[in-house]
Amino acid sequence: MSKKIQVETTTGSKPVLLQPAGKILAEIVRQKETAFRTAWAHFQTTEDDPEALHDMRVDLRRLRVWVKLTRGEIKTNKAVGKRLKALAKASNPVRDHEVTLAWLSLAQKQIGDRPALAKLIEYGKQAYQQSTELRFSPKQRLEPQIKQKMGIGLGKWLEQTVEQRIELIDQLLNAGMQETHLARIEIKYLRYLLEPFTETVSNAKALVEWCKKVQQLLGDFHDMQVFRSHLPEFARWVIDQELAEVALLTGKQSRAITKVFANARDPVIALSGWQDQELQRQWHNWIAVRENYLSVLQALRKNTDTPKQMQI
């Protein structure tokens, strides 16, 4: 399914960037909503497409970003917006489960053969087998409406919005480790903003490609930050499973209980150390290329050709 909105085909002979911003933005939101609804319907009916959830989440995210970006120019049905937000929130744990298990698998390979760690991962797989039912009512639509009939032109709106995003991205990427997630969110906004205009706006295509590359770099880094927050959950998998079995036995069972907590403690300590090393490795890798990526961003921002020595 194509993600690009062919806005030029709906604006007659007048150049699209000279059209009122509200008119074109409302059309884009409508088409983004259609794309999401198509992906949602596919997700609801398919049984053999492992990418259906991912694709639905991507289209949902694009739609919600566009609603946020265009609030100054168009208004939408708030009730539908709240339901879209609720769906996004409900689908987050499903994605987090998949990512967490993938990182645990990598950690196991790098840490080495440890029976307690293998058991912890197996318990995690069992815990994540409990499916989360996602719900969304497609009866109502966002129904985007123009706020001002004689508002700003699309070209001017786009210029201002892109400049604001790039300025914030530059600030966040020059900040410390804790700001990388916010930077990645802003980069995602810039990418989705420019995707419909890669054939209309100078350097839009190059900026979209820049966003994709930096998103990937910072995405893995964010996953590592989130991974650490799951350490208590990892210990709970072991304790819930093994302590329940011990509780069925009679007597004090001090040795068996001590073993349960050791089985939770040892792999979590190993995972804590692995996460810290992996996080530092990824951070140093990012710092090594950060200035190059920032230079490319500024070159594209000035609407000039990117020098060959600055190519990513």
Q: How many domains does the chain have?
A: 1
Contact 263, 238 (CB under 8 A): yes
Phi, psi angles (nearest 5°) of residue 228: -65, -35
- Which pLDDT value is given to residue 305? 34
Q: Which two tokens stand for residue 239?
A: 């304790």
Q: pLDDT, tens digit, for every residue of 162-195?
A: 999 999 999 999 988 889 999 999 999 999 999 9
Q: What is the mean pLDDT of residues 40-64?
A: 91
274 found inside a domain: yes
Q: Which two tokens stand for residue 245?
A: 């079995």
Q: CA 39 to CA 91: how far, in whole Å?
A: 14
- Which pLDDT value is given to residue 14? 59
181 found inside a domain: yes
Q: CA 131 to CA 152: how far, in whole Å?
A: 47
161 found inside a domain: yes
pLDDT at 25 over 90: yes
282 found inside a domain: yes
Give the burial class of 120: count Cβ atoms within 10 A of its Cβ; 0-12 exposed, 13-18 middle, 19 or more buried: buried
Q: CA 68 to CA 87: how far, in whole Å?
A: 16
Among 17, 13, 14, residue whose Cα is nearest residue 196: 17
Q: pLDDT, tens digit, for every residue of 258-304?
A: 999 999 999 999 999 999 999 999 999 999 999 999 999 999 988 63
pLDDT at 306 over 50: no
Q: pLDDT, tens digit, for every residue of 142-159?
A: 999 998 777 789 999 999
Q: What is the mean pLDDT of residues 223-243?
A: 93
- Which pLDDT value is given to residue 132? 65
pLDDT at 12 over 70: no
> Across all residues in the chain, what is the average pLDDT?
87
Q: How many CB atoms lie within 10 A of CB 239?
A: 16
What's the start-to-end Cα distance of the chain, in Å?
A: 28
pTM higher than 0.85: no
pLDDT at 310 over 60: no
258 found inside a domain: yes
Long-range contacts at 273-281 (CB < 8 A, ≥ 24 apart): 274/107, 274/110, 274/111, 275/107, 275/224, 275/227, 275/228, 275/231, 276/228, 278/107, 278/224, 279/221, 279/224, 279/225, 279/228
Which residue(s) pair with 149 in the sheet? Answer: none
Alpha-carbon torsion, ordered 58, 63, 65, 68, to 10 deg: -160
- Which pLDDT value is given to residue 200? 85
Give the burial class of 153: count Cβ atoms within 10 A of its Cβ; 0-12 exposed, 13-18 middle, 19 or more buried: middle
Q: Which two tokens stand for residue 203?
A: 């350097």
pLDDT above 70: percentage of residues in the chain: 91
112 found inside a domain: yes
Q: pLDDT, tens digit, for every residue of 81-116?
A: 999 999 999 988 878 888 899 999 999 999 998 999
Q: CA 156 to CA 164: how far, in whole Å?
A: 12
- Which pLDDT value is given to residue 113? 86
173 found inside a domain: yes
Phi-psi region of 303 (alpha: psi -120 to 50; beta: other; left: phi over 0): left
Q: Which two tokens stand for residue 201?
A: 């706006």
- Which pLDDT value is given to residue 131? 58
Q: Which two tokens stand for residue 204?
A: 């839009």
pLDDT at 18 over 90: no
Q: What is the mean pLDDT of residues 240-248?
A: 91
Q: CA 95 to CA 87: how far, in whole Å?
A: 13
**Which residue range(s) make up the domain with 223?**
96-131+150-305
59 found inside a domain: no
Find the farthest-apart pair of alpha carbons in the chain and give their distance in angstroms, rounded. Answer: 86
